[in-house]
Each structure stands twice: as C-alpha cells, then as structure tokens.
Amino acid sequence: MTANRIATRGPAATCGQPASREPTSTGEPTSTGEQPAPRAGTTERYESLARFYNADERRVRSRELDVGLWWREALDGPIHRAAWVSDTGELYLVRLGPPAEGGGRVEVLARVPDRDRLERALAGWRERCGEPRSLRWLRTRAQRMRSSVAAARPARLGPRRPPSARTA
C-alpha cells in the first residue's frame, strides 16, 4: 500500500494509521429507504453516531474508512474523527467526548462517489491531522469536494413527469 492511500485494515484509527470499521448492527430498527441528498448549501447533522447510522441502513452494512482521529481547531480544543462510508459516499465528522460537551454529534461534510476521488482530495491529510487548525483544512477540502461533485451533476431541464399511457 502506498503512503498516500487510505488504509482499509488495522487497529483503531490515529492520524497516521487509519483503520476500517466493519459493518456492525446496533439492534435498533433502521430505515429501509435511501435518504435523499441534502439541498445544496445545507449541512446534514445528527445528534449521535447511532442516529446517523440508523438514518440509512446502508451505513450500518457498509465498510468505512477512517480518515484521522485528531482533527481540531485549537491545540486544546475538541477532537473530531473523520471517516468515509463507502456505500453512501459520505465523508462525515464526529466530535469526540461526552455528550454534555457536544461529543457524539455527527456532521456530513461531503458526498464523495469514489475512494480515488476522496484520496486525491485529501492528499496530505496525515501530515495535517492533529495540528492546530487541521479541522479547518479538512472542512476546506470537503467544501471543494462538494463543489466539484455538484459541478459534475447534469442539470435537470424541467420537472420529471410520470410516463403517460402513451409513453409507458
């Protein structure tokens, strides 16, 4: 594996040695339908990691690539873990710490359709993770990914209409 590739196996993630999370089941009921992508300019947030996983069953079954455990703004500020869910393409951030201090909250930073695009966009993350303002660095790259994915989507020409009896 090259130094720039995100690892898919190993112990719990650190900045230099990410690991994968095998799919686990919380035992809680999950939604059977896919979640629609949020509107442009909105941020998808969840109060807990369990709510994040349970909102879309694909997240529970999916392989997950950890992308650093020590993302922070200030040296003494809260720590965040970032990971990418392969089945949904979501790059998310979870704040670590006790729930009373905001720990466990999840924010979807971007949807990245494939691992290669993720790795290109986050090249150099191991050197940044853990440093002061590293969280800002990650958010900036996530914003660029959102912009590039949105630009690649074809524009809809008009409202979709169900097929009529003549066209069906």
- Strand 44-46 and strand 20-21: the pairing is unpaired
pLDDT, average across residues 75-101: 96
pLDDT, average across residues 14-23: 39
pLDDT value, residue 153: 52
Rounded distance between C-alpha atoms, residue 66 and residue 17, angstroms: 9
Report whether pLDDT(163) > 70.
no
pLDDT value, residue 127: 96
Q: How many CB atoms lie within 10 A of CB 101?
A: 10
Split at pLDDT 50, 70, 90, the class of 38 is very low
Q: Are 13 and 69 in contact (CB under 8 A)?
A: yes
Split at pLDDT 50, 70, 90, the class of 106 is very high
pLDDT value, residue 147: 78
pLDDT, average across residues 13-32: 36
Q: Are 114 and 54 in contact (CB under 8 A)?
A: no
Report whether pLDDT(111) > 90.
yes
pLDDT value, residue 157: 47
> Which residues on adjacent β-strands are paired with residue 152?
none
pLDDT value, residue 126: 95
Give the position of tokens 């303002």.
133
pLDDT value, residue 50: 95
